[in-house]
Structure 1
Amino acid sequence: MNPHHHLDPSTVVSYAAGALAVEVAVVAATHLETCAHCRARLQEAERIGGQLVEYQQPALPATARLAGLRAAMLEHLDAPLPPPVAPMPKAAPYEDDDRLPAPLHPYFGASYRALKWRWMAPGVHCIRARGTTSGTLLMLKIGPGRSMPVHSHGGTELTQILRGAYHDALGHFAPGDAADLDSDVEHQPVTVPGTACICVSALDAPLRFPGWLARRLQPLFKL
């Protein structure tokens, strides 16, 4: 698998630092299972972070040190990667038709066939994760050829495509791809014909819908 859409560098840095919300970290870990590019970025972020912590100046206030470390790590991640010291481990959780990626097991179980989908809208079903206490972590199954409502984001939305595909103004998203979006993005995903699109999404704030009908239904859907 060779994903074309990756985690944002700031997400990689926050993941390396353990600073992501649990829900977002679960989706990031799901992407990292299949993406050698982002695993290499993570490895580099952890290496740089260790060096920067070792040489940080203790005289600076804690907040200034953290801001400086984050800025330096992002700067280094924008530079070309050196060759990896050892081959990246192969991970192919999508090859087994019934096995969900391992990071999702505590929240959704291990099997696609065992998933208990709930109707959300015509052609759209969802499952909310068990065991989370903040934010929103859910799996969506959207029928082929369906248009989702136009929306933007009150905060972060991180989505990993598991099966099927969709396209929007940002491009074509297929299995293994991550859509790492912030409040500046407005889009309308449209699933491709032929097969349902299954994805896992983490939200740290409600979506924003410009359409009046979607806004009226939003409290019911809790998105």
Structure 2
Amino acid sequence: MSPRHHLHESTLMSFAAGALPAALSVVAGAHLESCPHCRQRLHLAETVGAALIDRTQPDVPSPRREVLRQAMLAQLEQAEPGGEGRSREPAPALRQPPRECPQADPDYLPASLHPYFGDSLRSLRWRWIAPGVHCIRAADMPTLIMLRIAPGKCLPMHSHGSSELTQILRGSYNDALGLFAPGDVADLDQDVEHQPVTAPGAACICVSALDAPLRFSGWLARRIQRFVKL
């Protein structure tokens, strides 16, 4: 799997800073698991961010800095219930480094999706929303959805209220931006209007995160939107 469509620089910087909205962060994580190129760019973004933070810190001599650090930790311990006299344990990592998907199982889902959809495509229970289109919405994150679209389907022309991230898991589609195949991510904003058409062969399965509802051009799609909430 060699993705040809990647995360935008601004998306990677927001992800590195922990500032990307939760649903978008899940999809970005799914892409990073399958894309060595974006993982390398993420590492660079984290390095640059750390350097910028370090440059904004006051220039305090090392001995004095350690004294301040110990004083801060002591205050944090006293502020926690039962913190006095309790031994400190290392805090768990906020974000585990992305892992490659096991190639032996073609139905394996990226690890970032497991809390919302499980670990395999085989266990999913799809909901019909339109002819040839099925959907699953994450229970705890309604702006995170998985779509299964039959081959040869032409989706309505639409733009975006804000940001959209879509990671292709299986199958493919074409639009004005090109061919999106497994491993590719569509990193879109409000300036993009497109009409995806799924390719012949296998159904296109993708996971999407939206910052705002889609903007459909056709009146029928706008009426249906009230029921499918996309």
Query: TM-score higher than 0.5 here?
Result: yes
Q: Deviations over 1:123-158 (max 9, x none)?
A: 0000001222xx610000000010000000001010
Q: Specify the alignment match of 1:164 in structure 2.
A: 171
CA deviations 1:20-73 (Å, max 9, x no partner) are 111000000000001011000100000011111111277xxxxxxxxxxxxxxx
Q: Check the 8 A contact 1:107/1:131 in 2, yes or no.
A: yes
How many residues are aligned here?
192
Give yes or no for the alignment of 1:115 onto 2:93.
Answer: no
TM-score, scaled relative to structure 2: 0.80
Secondary structure of the corresponding residue to residue 191 of structure 2: coil
Residue 38 of structure 1 aligns to which amino acid in structure 2?
Answer: C
Q: Is the 2:13–2:42 contact (alpha carbons within 8 Å) kept by the matching residues of 1?
A: yes
TM-score for both structures, normalised by structure 1: 0.83
> Is contact 1:23-1:136 (8 Å) kept?
yes
After the TM superposition, which residues 68-217 of structure 1 pair with which residues of structure 2 at under 5 Å, given as runs?
Answer: 91-93=100-102, 95-132=104-141, 136-217=143-224
Change (3 A) 1:187 1:179: same
Change over 3 Å in CA distance of 1:14–1:95 after alignment to 2: farther
Structure 1 segments unaligned to the other structure (5+ residues) = 59-87
Question: In structure 2, what is the equivalent of residue 31 of structure 1?
Answer: 31
State the one-letter code of the partner of 2:228.
Answer: F
Cα drift, residue 121 of structure 1: 0.2
Q: 1:108 & 1:95 partners in 2: Cα distance?
A: 20
Say if 1:94 and 1:167 are closer, same or farther in 2 by CA, change over 3 A. Answer: farther
- The 5-angstrom pairing of residues 41-56 of structure 1 reads 41-56=41-56
User: What SS does structure 2 have at the residue aligned with 1:113?
Assistant: helix
Stretch moving more, 94-103 or 175-184: 94-103
- How far, CA to CA, are the matches of 2:122 and 2:10 in structure 1? 35
Alignment root-mean-square deviation, CA: 1.6
Larger Rg: 2
Contact 1:166 1:189 in 2 (8 A): yes
Aligned to 2:67: none
Change (3 A) 1:96 1:23: same
**1:140-196 CA distances to partner (integer Å, 9 max, x unpaired)?**
000001000000000101000000000000000000000000000000000000110
The 3-state SS of whatever aligns with 2:166 is strand
Contact 1:144 1:193 in 2 (8 A): yes
**Equivalent residue, structure 2, for 1:10:** 10
Deviation at 1:209, TM superposition (A): 0.6
Residues 53-106 of structure 1: CA deviation (Å, up to 9, x unaligned): 111277xxxxxxxxxxxxxxxxxxxxxxxxxxxxx9871345512211111000
Equivalent-residue separation in structure 2 for 1:162 and 1:177 (angstroms): 8
